[in-house]
Amino acid sequence: MLARTADSLYWMSRYMERADIVSRTLANGFYASYDISSRQVFNWSALVKIFCYRTDEEIEAIAASSDNVLRELLIRDKNNSLKELVLKARENARGAQEHLTKEVWESINETYHSTVHINIEKVIADGDQMNLILHKIDESLIYYGVFENTMPRGQGWNFMNLGRFVERSMQTLNFAEAKFAAFNNNDPECLSILYWKNLLLNLSGYELYLKSYRGENHMQNITDMIFLKNIFPRSITYSFGKIQLYIRNILKENNHPNNPLIERKTGALFSKIAYTDLQGIREKGVLAFIEELKSDLYQLSQLIGQSFFSYY
């Protein structure tokens, strides 16, 4: 496979995964804002900060209004708005179209056209925000359905899944970092499950959490679930396991001088999460552990890019 094709498939998949989590984050934020009393305002700041690379003042201005957040994350943000993400995903898909099935290309193309034609001011004026967001989530589900059920399990599949799980790992770490950084052990609200609920909803793990854990030590339970629970598809253990699987498949079919180094780096990354436990994470500190994993993952991504993508 040509390097530029592998690059296009990898980044197309990363952008589609990020677009999916932007849509679900917006939906959960709106649901949460409907649940709280009229005297309270849902705090969007942490979520806006994850996706919008702005100054603190600009983030607070955006986060002051749910409709501003909707405008920014659906249309306006030049880096991670839904419109920008599906535009970049479609550009990459076009560059590798002969390696995609007709159904995958059509799914991305339809998502692109329905997104660029959004009249955001009319949606807000009509009070149709939730219907729009739910439609975007449905489009993501359709994309993943046709992706899973039509793509051949060859090199393209491996590069697409590698991009998918690198992006998923990064976003899980970003969401966890924002929540743990705001945690205050002396604030009774932080000790409640309500403090963690939106994080779990954004990671599609709320129901699994309620079924899996008992007791009031939510911080410890959340740490276990997000980092170590191997049946949770957005946990770091699960995502790193998938990264290791797809990198091994890629290395089998690509003879590159960096292969031994990539294999060692991948093994070290997976071992770091596979052979730790709650006590080990607690001793290091959750935020320090997250920072270390993000740094290692970024270095591995750079090495993959330098070895298999054309622009390095």
pLDDT band, very low/low/confident/very high, at 219 (cuts 50, 70, 90): very high
Chain centroid to CA 85: how far?
12
Query: With pLDDT > 70 as the criterion, what percentage of the chain qualifies?
Result: 97
pLDDT tens figures, 25-67: 999 988 888 776 655 567 889 889 999 999 999 999 999 999 9
The dihedral sign for the CA sequence 237, 239, 240, 244: positive
pLDDT tens for each residue of 46-57: 889 999 999 999
Q: What is the mean pLDDT of the chain?
A: 92
pLDDT at 275: 92
Q: How many helices (H) and strands (E) does the chain have?
A: 16, 0
CB 176, CB 25: distance < 8 Å:
no
Q: What is the pLDDT of residue 2?
A: 81
Q: At what angle do helices 155-182 and 236-253 cross, to 10 degrees?
A: 150
The pTM score is 0.93
Summarize the confidence of residues 146-173 as an average pLDDT.
96
